[in-house]
C-alpha cells in the first residue's frame, strides 16, 4: 500500500519556482540597480524615510489580501479614509479627548466597512459593484460635510503617530505595518480561520456546504478592511497634518496593485502575505529609486501599470505556450 | 398591460418623468425646451460611453480604462491640431477613433491572449494610458485658443434645435441597437455572457469576441475623446478623471447585469439619462454641488439592490413552478 503524503516532500529546487522567490529576485535586482544608479539610495536614513510613502497603503493591503483571497474586492477603501479623516478632524474640533477621538475615528471606518459587508451579503450583490457605489457614497459624504474647507488640527498623538519615530529611528506607521504583517501571516497561514478563507475563495458554495459561515466571514472581512482604512487614515492625517475631502484619492487602485502584484489571484483562493509584503517593498523601492532619478510621478504610474499586467500576463503566456508544445 | 407596467425600462422611464416633473415644480426654468436640450447635450457623451461599456459588461467583463483612453486620444489629436490646424475636422475624428481602437485592442489582447483578468488589465491600462498623457503633453494643457476654429465648430452645429452631440448619441444608439439585437455578433455576445461554457461548445470563439468587444469600447472612447475635447475646448492630463465609474453606474442603473448576458440597449440609455438628469437637476433645486457625489453613490446602490431583488424574485418563481 502506498501512502499519499499530506505534504509534498521538501525540495530545495521547488523554492525557485515559487512566486515569492521570483518577487524576491525582482526586489533584490531593484535594490542593486538603484544603489548603482544613485549614491543617495543606500543611505539608512533615506531608506527608512522612504517607508513613509507606502506604509499607510501597506496596512490596508494586508486586509485587502484577505478580502481578495476570499474572492471579493473592495474599491471603497480610499473613500473610507476620507470619511474617517473627516471624523478625526471633526471630533477634534469638538474638543473631545484624544482616546475618544481615536475611538470614533476607528468606529467610523469599521461602520463603513460593515455597511459594505451588509449589502454584499444581505442582497448577494457582487462586491465590485457595491463598492463602486459606496466609493462614490463615502467620498461624497466627506465632500458634503467638509465642502471646500479643511481640517488642520488633530490631537498631538496623531501628529506624533503620523510623522514620528520610535527610538528616533523607526517610523510608527512602518512599525505598525510590520507587526500587523506578522499577525496576518500567522492568521492566514497557521490558523483554521486562514484555511477557511482560502476555501471560501476557492469555492464559496462548497465552503458553505462544509459548514463555513461564508456570509459571516465576508461581513467580518469587509468590516476589518474598513477598520484598517481608518487606522491608515489616522497615520495619513497625522503625516499630512491637513485633511481635505479628496485625501488618498485613487489609493484603492494602488492598494489592489500591491496585492495582485504580490501573487494573490484576483479571483480568490491563492496568495500569501509574504508575497504581498515583498511586492509592497518592490513598489516602494521602485518609486523611491525613480524619485531619486527625478522621474516624475507619472513615470512611476506607467511603470506600476506595466508591472501589474506583465507580472500576470507573462507567466500565463509562457504556460499557454508550453501547453501548446506538449 | 401588467407586463408593460412591470417592465424595467418602463419603470426607469417613469422615474425619469417623475423627477422631471418634481424638479419642474420646484424650478419651472428647468423644464423649458432650452434647458432640457442642454441636459440632453450634456448627457450625450455619457450615453455613448455607457452603450459601448454595455457591450463589454454583457460578456461578464468591465472596461475601467475608458476615461483614460478618452483623455489620451483627445490629447493626441489636440496636440496634432496645434501643429496642423489646417487639417479638416473629420481627419481628427477618424484619427481619434483609430487611436481609441488601438488602445482597446491592447486591452483585448492582454485579456484574451495573455489571460490577464479583465479587472487587472483595465486597472493597469487605466494608469498606463493616463500616465502616457503626461508624457506626450509634458503635463501642459491645450487651451481653447490653440484649437482651429474648424476643430471646435462642428460641436456647435444644431439640427432641429438639438445639438450635434445629441444627434450623434442617437445614431450610436441606433447602431448599437441593431448590432446587439439584429446581428449574429450581438446574439453571440449575449450567449457568451449568459453561459460562457455553453457558448464555447456551440463554437463561439470567446477570444475573438473579447477582443472585438474591447476594441468597440476603445473605438467609442476614442470618438468621445474628440467630443470631450471639442465640447469643453480644453485638453489636459486631468480630463474625465474618474468618469469610468459614472459610465459603469449608468449601465448598472440601466439594468445591465454585471453577471453578464442581461440588459437592453434602451435600458442602458435610460440609465445614462437618469444619471445625467440628476447631475443637472441638483443645482436647479439648490442642492450644493458637494452633495452630488454622495447622491449619485446612493442612487447606484439603490438601483443595484432593486435590480438584484427583481432578478432573484424571478429565479424563485421558476423554482416554485418546478
Mean per-residue pLDDT of chain A: 85
The model's pLDDT over A244-288, given as tens digits with 9 standing for 90+, comes to 888 888 788 889 888 988 888 888 888 899 999 999 998 888 888
Domain ranges of chain A: 50-310
Q: Is B283 on the interface with A (CB under 8 A)?
A: no
Domain that holds residue B267: 35-312
Separation CA A213–CA B159 (nearest Å): 60
Mean per-residue pLDDT of chain B: 84
Predicted ipTM of the assembly: 0.76
Decide if B304 and A129 are in contact by the 8 Å CB cutoff. Answer: yes
Q: Is B161 on the interface with A (CB under 8 A)?
A: no
Residue B103 covered by a domain: yes
CATH number of A50-310: 1.10.3470
Q: What is the pLDDT of residue B236?
A: 81
Q: What is the pLDDT of residue B220?
A: 95
Whether the predicted pLDDT of B35 surpasses 70 = yes
Separation CA B67–CA B125 (nearest Å): 11
Number of domains in chain B: 1
Separation CA B184–CA B4 (nearest Å): 27
Q: Where is pLDDT greater, at A314 or A189? A: A189
Whether the predicted pLDDT of A113 surpasses 90 = yes
Separation CA B241–CA B64 (nearest Å): 11
The model's pLDDT over B269-311, given as tens digits with 9 standing for 90+, comes to 999 998 888 888 887 777 777 887 888 788 888 878 877 776 6
Q: List the grid coordinates of A20.
A: 515569492
Q: Is B183 on the interface with A (CB under 8 A)?
A: no
B75, B107, B114, B122: best to mutate for the A interface, most A CBs within 10 A: B114
CB < 8 Å to B110, chain A: 309, 313
Q: What is the pLDDT of residue B2?
A: 60
Decide if A140 and B293 are in contact by the 8 Å CB cutoff. Answer: yes
Decide if A128 and B258 are in contact by the 8 Å CB cutoff. Answer: yes
| 8 Å CB contact between A71 and A200 | yes
| 8 Å CB contact between B63 and B125 | no
CATH number at residue B270: 1.10.3470.10
Phi-psi region of A241 (alpha: psi -120 to 50; beta: other; left: phi over 0): left
Decide if A313 and B116 are in contact by the 8 Å CB cutoff. Answer: yes
Of A139, A147, A266, the CB nearest to B117: A266
CB < 8 Å to B139, chain A: 296, 298
Nearest alpha-carbon partner for B89 in B35, B141, B148? B148
**Number of neighbours of residue A178 by Cβ within 10 angstroms:** 14
Residue B107 covered by a domain: yes
B116, B126, B137, B252: best to mutate for the A interface, most A CBs within 10 A: B116
CB < 8 Å to A144, chain B: 288, 290-291, 293-294
**What residues have CB less than 8 Å from B147, skipping those under 6 apart?**
B78, B81, B82, B85, B229, B230, B233
pTM value? 0.83
Q: What is the mean pLDDT of residues B227-253?
A: 85
Nearest alpha-carbon partner for B63 in B34, B35, B105, B3? B105
Decide if B114 and A147 are in contact by the 8 Å CB cutoff. Answer: no
Q: List the grid coordinates of A165.
A: 519615530
Whether the predicted pLDDT of A148 surpasses 70 = yes
Residue B79 covered by a domain: yes
Amino acid at each position: 500500500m502506498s501512502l499519499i503524503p499530506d505534504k509534498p516532500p521538501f525540495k530545495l529546487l521547488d523554492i525557485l519556482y515559487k512566486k515569492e522567490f521570483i518577487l524576491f529576485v525582482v526586489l533584490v535586482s531593484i535594490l542593486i540597480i538603484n544603489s548603482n544608479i544613485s549614491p543617495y539610495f543606500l543611505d539608512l536614513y533615506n531608506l527608512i524615510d522612504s517607508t513613509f510613502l507606502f506604509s499607510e497603503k501597506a496596512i490596508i493591503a494586508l486586509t485587502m489580501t484577505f478580502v481578495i483571497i476570499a474572492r471579493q474586492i473592495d474599491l471603497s477603501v480610499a473613500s473610507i479614509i476620507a470619511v474617517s479623516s473627516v471624523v478625526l478632524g471633526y471630533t477634534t474640533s469638538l474638543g473631545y479627548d484624544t482616546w475618544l477621538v481615536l475611538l470614533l475615528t476607528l468606529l467610523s471606518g469599521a461602520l463603513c466597512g460593515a455597511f459594505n459587508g451588509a449589502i454584499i451579503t444581505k442582497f448577494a450583490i457582487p462586491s465590485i459593484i457595491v463598492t463602486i457605489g459606496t466609493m462614490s457614497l463615502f467620498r461624497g459624504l466627506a465632500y458634503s460635510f467638509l465642502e471646500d474647507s479643511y481640517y488642520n488640527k488633530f490631537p498631538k498623538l496623531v501628529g506624533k503617530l503620523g510623522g514620528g519615530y520610535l527610538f528616533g529611528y523607526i517610523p510608527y506607521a512602518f512599525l505598525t505595518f510590520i507587526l500587523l504583517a506578522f499577525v496576518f501571516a500567522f492568521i492566514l497561514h497557521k490558523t483554521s480561520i486562514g484555511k477557511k478563507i482560502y476555501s471560501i475563495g476557492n469555492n464559496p458554495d462548497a465552503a458553505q456546504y462544509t459548514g463555513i459561515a461564508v456570509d459571516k466571514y465576508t461581513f467580518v472581512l469587509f468590516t476589518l478592511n474598513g477598520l484598517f482604512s481608518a487606522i491608515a487614515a489616522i497615520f495619513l492625517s497625522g503625516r499630512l497634518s491637513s485633511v481635505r475631502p479628496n485625501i488618498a484619492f485613487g489609493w484603492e487602485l494602488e492598494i489592489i496593485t500591491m496585492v495582485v502584484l504580490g501573487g494573490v489571484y484576483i479571483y480568490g483562493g491563492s496568495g500569501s502575505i509574504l508575497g504581498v509584503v515583498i511586492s509592497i517593498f518592490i513598489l516602494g523601492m521602485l518609486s523611491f529609486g525613480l524619485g531619486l532619478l527625478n522621474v516624475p510621478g507619472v513615470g512611476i504610474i506607467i511603470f506600476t501599470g506595466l508591472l501589474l499586467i506583465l507580472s500576470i500576463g507573462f507567466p500565463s503566456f509562457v504556460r499557454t505556450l508550453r501547453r501548446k508544445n506538449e | 398591460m401588467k407586463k408593460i407596467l412591470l417592465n424595467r425600462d418602463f419603470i426607469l422611464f417613469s422615474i425619469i418623468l417623475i423627477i422631471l416633473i418634481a424638479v419642474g415644480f420646484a424650478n419651472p426654468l428647468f423644464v423649458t425646451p432650452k434647458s432640457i436640450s442642454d441636459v440632453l447635450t450634456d448627457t450625450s457623451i455619457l450615453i455613448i460611453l455607457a452603450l459601448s461599456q454595455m457591450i463589454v459588461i454583457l460578456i461578464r467583463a468591465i472596461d475601467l480604462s475608458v476615461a483614460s483612453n478618452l483623455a489620451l486620444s483627445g490629447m493626441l489629436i489636440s496636440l496634432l491640431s496645434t501643429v496642423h490646424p489646417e487639417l479638416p475636422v473629420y481627419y481628427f475624428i477618424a484619427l481619434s477613433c483609430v487611436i481609441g481602437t488601438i488602445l482597446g485592442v491592447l486591452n483585448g489582447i492582454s485579456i484574451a491572449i495573455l489571460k490577464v483578468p479583465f479587472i487587472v488589465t483595465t486597472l493597469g491600462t487605466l494608469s498606463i494610458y493616463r500616465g502616457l498623457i503626461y508624457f506626450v503633453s509634458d503635463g501642459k494643457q491645450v487651451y481653447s485658443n490653440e484649437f482651429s476654429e474648424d476643430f471646435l465648430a462642428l460641436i456647435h452645429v444644431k439640427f432641429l434645435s438639438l445639438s450635434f452631440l445629441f444627434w450623434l448619441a442617437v445614431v450610436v444608439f441606433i447602431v448599437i441597437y441593431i448590432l446587439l439585437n439584429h446581428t449574429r455578433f450581438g446574439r453571440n455576445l449575449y450567449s457568451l455572457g449568459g453561459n460562457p461554457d455553453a457558448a464555447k461548445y456551440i463554437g463561439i470563439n470567446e477570444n475573438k469576441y473579447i477582443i472585438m468587444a474591447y476594441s468597440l469600447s476603445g473605438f467609442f472612447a476614442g470618438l468621445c475623446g474628440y467630443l470631450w475635447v471639442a465640447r469643453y475646448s480644453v485638453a489636459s492630463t486631468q480630463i474625465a478623471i474618474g468618469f469610468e465609474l459614472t459610465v459603469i453606474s449608468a449601465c448598472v442603473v440601466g439594468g445591465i447585469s454585471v453577471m453578464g448576458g442581461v440588459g437592453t440597449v434602451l435600458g442602458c440609455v435610460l440609465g445614462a439619462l437618469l444619471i445625467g438628469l440628476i447631475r443637472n437637476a441638483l443645482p436647479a433645486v439648490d442642492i450644493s454641488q458637494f452633495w452630488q457625489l454622495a447622491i449619485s453613490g446612493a442612487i447606484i446602490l439603490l438601483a443595484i439592490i432593486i435590480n438584484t431583488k427583481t432578478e432573484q424574485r424571478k429565479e424563485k418563481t421558476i423554482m416554485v413552478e418546478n
